[in-house]
Structure 1
C-alpha cells in the first residue's frame, strides 16, 4: 500500500477578469443619463451622471491585464491533537490597487482563527491559523480566493483551490510503568535479565578475569584483599510487546481534545502512550488493528522512528469500516513470547474471542478496558446511561470468562495502570514450574 502523504501546497489560476454588476450598472446608467441629457437638453442630468461616468471610465482604465495565480501553503501537515498550524495564501503577481478576500470553509475538527475564516489580502498575502482538535487524516477547509480591481469594476473568482490535507497524530495520554516487562529476550533493552552480562544492574563483586574492563575494578575490595576484584552486572534485554487495537466501535459523543473522549479516543491515545513508553525503553513493538479498513500493516520495530510510524498508523484508523474482520490476520505470526496487550471497550464479541484465542495459545495476554466512564454517569441523558449500565451487566459475564481463563482485565487509568499486572506476570514467569523428565 503506498504511503499517504499530506498535501502541503495548493495552486490554481484564478481565471480572467470579468466586469462586476456594479460596473455594468455604472456604464448603463452613465450612458442612459448622458443620452437623456443631450436629447432633453438637461444640463442637470449631465451633472448627476458625471460621477458614474468618472467611476466607469476609471474602473475600465484600471482593469488588470494579467492573470493571477493563487497559492495556499500549510505550515505543518502533521500535527498533534490540540496544536495549531498556519495557512499562508499568496497571489502572484501581487497587483497594486487590487483588493482580495480569502475564505476558509468550516471543516470537522478544525478550528479557524479568526473564527469566521475570512481574511483580507494585504499586498497579495493573507495568513490564517488552523487548530486540529481530533486525531485522524482529514482535509482542512476549502480555500477560496476572490479579487476585485479599483472601484470594484472587475473581479476574478471566487475560485476554490485544491483541498489541502493534514494528518493529526493522537496525543498520547500520560502513562508510565515501573514494573518490568515479562519475557525479555533481546540484547539492547532496559529490562534486567536473570543472567550476568554487560548491563547497568548490579549483580555481585567477583575476582578479576582476563577480558574484564578496567572501569569495573572495585578498588576498595581490591586494596583490602590484595587481589583485583570487579563488579559484575546483570545483562539488559529487550522484550517484544504486541498491541491489538479494537476499531469496531467509537462509543460516545465526539467532542475532540477539548471535550469528553469516545471509546476509540481512549483506545488510540492509550495505544500511543503505551507505545511511547515501551519504545523509549528500547523494547520491540508490533501494532495490529481489527475492524478498520485500509490501515497500513506495521511490522516489528523499536526506537523513535518506529514510534512515529505507530502514531501514523493510529491516525489512519477509521472505525467500523471492516465489520467482517475476524482478527485472524491480525494475530497471525505473533512471537509466542510477546506481551499481548488488547485495547478494547469489550463491546464487540470479536475482541473477547481474540483474547480467548491468544490465551489458549499460551501467550501472555492483558486486556486493557478502554470503555469511557462518562457514558454511564452522564446526568444529561438518564435513559442512555441506564441503557449502558444494562449493557455493562451483560459484559461482566464476558469479563468474568476472561479472568477465569487467567487473562487480567485492567481498566485504563493512565500512569500506573499496568504496574500491578506486569509485576504479577513477571513473578509468575519466574516461578518454578512442573515439567516432565
Structure 2
C-alpha cells in the first residue's frame, strides 16, 4: 500500500494536524499525496512550497492573480537559479523584483556558475544587484553565496601580496587593475558595489569563492562600500555564524603591513560571531589568517578550519600567542601544525601539548577541546587522523591547574555535530 494512503483516513481531522502528519513524509511521498485531491493539495502545498528553487518563469505565478500567489507567505527558503556572466540584466531584475512577493523568507541561496576567469569578474556587479534589495526581506537570516568552478590563475600560496596587489575586497578585486577592458575602471567597480542598501540583520552567512577578503574601505570611500560582501560589515552586530570555502584569504603577510591593517580605525569587529568555519581545501592555514580572525572575532566560541596541507608554522613565541587572543574559544578543529622549515615534519604531540598548555596559561580559560587533524596523502583517497585533546580544570594539574587528555579517533566530516531546529523539508523546483 502506498505510504501516502495512510493519510487519507486523517483528512477529516483539522488541517493543522494533517499538515503536521504530512510534514514527516519524504519529498516524493509528499508530492504524490498532494496530487490525490484538492484537499490533500491544500494540506501539502504549504509544506512543499516552504523551500523552493525559483526560476524566471515561475516569478509571475507568485504575483497578484497568479496561481501560486496564495501560498507565497509560506515560502521560507529560496534557491535562485544558476547565475551566469551572460545572464541578462532584465532577467536579474525580474528575480530581484520578486523580493516583495515573499514576506517571510528566512534563507536565500545564490549560486553563481562560471567556467571562465575573466567573465567571473562581472559577478561583483551581479552580486550588488542581488544584494541591494535584501533589506526588504525583514525576516532574512541566512545568506548562502556560492561561486563554482573558478580557476585561480595566480595563486599566492604564502598569502604574500605585493603592495600594488593587496586586495581591497570583492570578487577577485586583486585583479581589477589589469581587467579594465571588462570593468572599465576600478572606480566603476566601486560604484557598482555601492548600489542600494544592504541588510543589517543576517545571522548566518555562507560564501564560496576563489579568494576571500574582509578588506576594509579606503579613506575616501565610506565604509563598507568597496567590499563585494558589504552585508558582512553591515551585519557585524548580528552575524553569529560564518562559513567560508576558499583557496586563500587576503590578509597581508608582512607583519608591519598587517599591524597597520588590523589596527586601523575602519576595521570591522564582529562582536556577535560565535561560529567560524573555514575550508581551505588542499592549501595551508597560515598564522596571519588566524591573527586577523582573532582581531575580528573576539567572542568566537567554535573554530573549525580544514586545510589538508597543514597549519604553517609555529617557530616563534609570538605565533603561539595568536591563539590566546580567542579568550572565549571553547572548541577548535585545526590542521595538524608543522614546525620549522621542513614541510615534511609534523609537530609531535609533546610540542602540541606544550602549545595548548601555553594557551591555557595565557588566558584561554574556557577551552574545552582541541582537535588536530593530520592528512595522510600516501593513501588514496587521502585519510584523516584526528588527535583530540580534552581540557579539564584540576587541582595540581601539570599545566598550571589544567589537565590535558589525549586520544586518537577517526575524523568525522561534520563537526561539531549540531541539531537543526527545523524539520527536513522537501524542496520544490518551479
TM-score between both structures, scaled by the size of structure 2: 0.25
TM-score between both structures, scaled by the size of structure 1: 0.25
Structure richer in strand, relative to its length? 1
